A and B are shown apart, each in its own frame.
Chain A
Amino acid sequence: MKTGILAAVLAAMLGGAAIAQEVKPAIVFDRGGKFDKSFNEAAHAGIERFKKETGIDYRDFEITSDAQREQAMQRFARDGHNPIVVIGFSFGTSLQKVAKEFPNTRFTIIDSVINEPNVRSAVFTEHEGSYLVGMMAGLASKTNKVGFIGGMDIPLIRKFACGYVQGVKAAKPGAEVIQNMTGTTGAAFNDPAKGSELAKSQLDRGADVIYHAAGGTGIGVLRTVADAGKLGIGVDSNQNGLHPGRVLTSMLKRVDVAVYSTLMDARSGKWTAGVTVYGLPQDGVGYAMDDNNKALVSPEMKAAVDKAAADIKAGTIKVHDYMTNSACPVM
């Protein structure tokens, strides 16, 4: 306990002194790697933007096994890198430990909340973004059945699902949502063959719009849905271009914004520990519109979704967050 307080005081002091400090950023990517067309790639885009604008170079590491999480962070911290950004909830447990070992180093973690005085936790309101694409799915569906395919069965992915279902029901109260999870291990984010089979089974049961929150698995989902002439919804990055005309929209999760802003804050001395939420008002989440899906989204659909977005921002629509009580009011 004593050392904890000491560390906190020390971190606070150093945090104050950080204004004059040079930043020497490092980033650790999760399994998928920095070119995964999705989550990690967005983070990579963020740090590249920082490098371009400030001319400050960075070090990066792509882990290939779980044991490397801790090692990579320790190595960067020992080499004097500061701040260190880690991408993905899977870093949570190891960061808890490493953050204590290096109280003078500032860490930022995406998608997980770690309560340490030298850690900033960047979280997104995925339920709100999913609500918006859910509305769009509900409006676009002709069979009144839509699908959801998640990756690993964890609360974070349930949060996507729950927001999506709420959106679908808001647009079409009687619509049915078929939900599937791909698996219970990290491999569930990288199994396109299974994604394809799950999508087939949902299509067979009558779904005509399918939203995936499944990383690499989703590539198989979107392909199968496109092959069948139905509509898919992408996630994290803008995936509309993967199958032009067959991806209704994508739920954007601006990991790049989170990475970029934490580094800029560190540079300008405004970096603070604690939870930073990226939601609709901060443009942290949203839905993607471009030339590839222009023909799919009617003006009425867009108007309805934009109105819902404004209502969520204003607080008149409250989207339930699965992670607050591990339950979803709708099925």
Chain B
Amino acid sequence: MEFLDATLQILASTVRLAVPLICACLAGLWSERAGIVDIGLEGKMLGAAFAAAVAAISTGSAMLGLLAGIGVSILLSLVHGYAAIAQRGNQIVSGVAINMLAVGLTAVLGHAWYREGGRTPPVAQSQRFLPIDLPFADQVGAIPVLGGIYKQLLSGHNLLVWLAFLAVPLTWWVLQKTRFGLRLRAVGENPAAVDTAGISVARLRYEAVIICGVLCGLGGAYLSIAQGAGFLNNMTAGKGFIALAALIFAKWRPGPALAACLLFGFLDAMAIRLQGVALPGIGQAPVQFIQALPYVLTVVLLAGFIGRAVPPKASGVPYVKER
């Protein structure tokens, strides 16, 4: 039983840690499937985390916090979109610029408003997305195995966790089963064909970056007003880049993207859990070893099992109408 409990605790922790990755990874998927390379995921999440915390603190509502986060993230997305679509600028440069802008601007504004070195004050309980206990969690939890799974793994997550997980099948359905999705994928593979069919390439790409903004906003808000309570300087800590790596792992498909993000979340959860625990046959492993494990596995997986990852053909290429 103890082993099962520990496993479930690690899996629940995996879910919590994977949420920002899932949001950012899907955001990148939407954008890149439409032909816009986006390494500004990190910056957008950071901007959203900051806006969500500020709005939640000043209005007292977690929902308004979430909306503010999404708003700011869309705004940054549109800046990237304008540079990449309308101005046909280099998308990498624009993405890097957004990352830098977000790191600097959030710290400066945060310090100017709250005088706490770029941090926001802690967000109160009532202004956050709190864990939702599923009905009868305690009663069902008494049932061996299945009850434990229900109580520990499924129950006790906040609204944003559910939204992030729902976004995965939704993304798959829209991209694969709708006309809009077909056109969006086409614009990332062969924009000229889409244009010939009389559909606006620019419009589709703008729609894609806006969806990307919404998802990044969700991830950012999760960091500051759901999982955490308050904004800290550079609190995304590279999650946007890990999400990009997951996207490549997943070869730009929603299902595998979820799996890759869960894998990263799981490795992170293991690193936390295994610290200071004696491993069978090895004894207590040094902290450094445990913490390096996710990265070692990443390299191994990338080199050995994933195979060639081919991005959408027109990704990163600005569309120029031939005259």
Contacts and interface: CB of A to CB of B under 8 A. Distances in A.
Do A and B share a complex?
yes
Interface stretch (B136-144, B184-192, B231-239): B231-239
Interface string B94-117: 000000000000000001000111
Contact of A190 (B125, B232, B272): B232
A33 B117 contact: yes
Nearest to A199: B272
A72 interface: no
Interface in A43-69: 62
A235 B144 CA distance: 41
Nearest to B6: A204
Interface in A173-202: 178-181, 183-184, 187, 190-194, 196-198, 200-201
B127 interface: no
Given A153-B287, A153-B288, A183-B291, A196 B228 contact: yes
Nearest to B227: A193
A179 B230 contact: no
B2 to A, nearest CB: 10
Nearest to B5: A204
B108 to A, nearest CB: 11
A257 B142 CA distance: 54
Interface in A198-221: 198, 200-201, 204, 216, 219-220
Contact of A194 (B6, B117, B234, B272): B272
B117 A34 contact: yes
A178 B117 contact: no
Interface in A220-248: 220, 223, 227, 242
A192 B228 contact: yes
A201 B272 contact: yes
Interface stretch (B9-17, B61-69, B172-180, B207-215): B9-17
Contact of B230 (A34, A204, A219): A219
Interface string B274-296: 01100000000001100100000
B269 interface: yes
B276 A180 contact: yes
Contacts of B223: 193
A187 B237 contact: yes
A143 to B, nearest CB: 15
Given A184-B288, A193-B223, A223-B122, A201 B273 contact: yes
A227 B115 CA distance: 26
B289 to A, nearest CB: 11
A242 B119 CA distance: 15
B275 A180 contact: yes
Nearest to A194: B272
A35 B228 contact: no
B239 to A, nearest CB: 9
B56 interface: no
A197 B17 contact: yes
B237 A32 contact: no
A244 to B, nearest CB: 13
Nearest to A178: B276
Interface in A20-49: 32-37, 40
Contacts of A35: 115-117, 119
A240 B268 CA distance: 30
Contacts of A193: 223, 227-228, 235
B268 to A, nearest CB: 8
A13 B272 CA distance: 54
B41 to A, nearest CB: 17
B13 A201 contact: yes
A41 to B, nearest CB: 9
A219 B122 contact: yes
B227 A196 contact: yes
Contact of A191 (B6, B119, B237, B276): B237
A184 to B, nearest CB: 6
B118 interface: yes
A242 B122 contact: yes
Given A180-B276, A197-B17, A201-B9, A192 B115 contact: no
Contacts of B17: 197
B233 A204 contact: no
Contacts of A194: 272
Contact of A184 (B6, B111, B287): B287
A190 B227 CA distance: 15
Interface string A156-182: 000000000000000000000011110
A32 B119 CA distance: 10
B229 interface: yes
Contacts of A33: 111, 117-118
A63 to B, nearest CB: 12
Nearest to A220: B228
A187 B16 CA distance: 20
B11 to A, nearest CB: 12
A197 B228 contact: no
A194 B271 CA distance: 11
Interface in B1-54: 5-6, 9, 13, 16-17
Contacts of A187: 237
Nearest to B284: A331
Contacts of B117: 32-36, 40, 62
Contacts of A178: 276
Closest 9 CB pairs of A and B: A33-B117, A35-B117, A35-B116, A204-B9, A180-B275, A181-B287, A197-B272, A201-B273, A179-B276
Interface of A: 32-37, 40, 62, 153, 178-181, 183-184, 187, 190-194, 196-198, 200-201, 204, 216, 219-220, 223, 227, 242
Given A192-B232, A197-B17, 10 more contacts: A32-B117, A34-B117, A35-B117, A36-B119, A191-B237, A193-B227, A201-B13, A204-B5, A216-B119, A227-B125
5 contacts: A33-B111, A36-B116, A184-B288, A219-B230, A219-B232
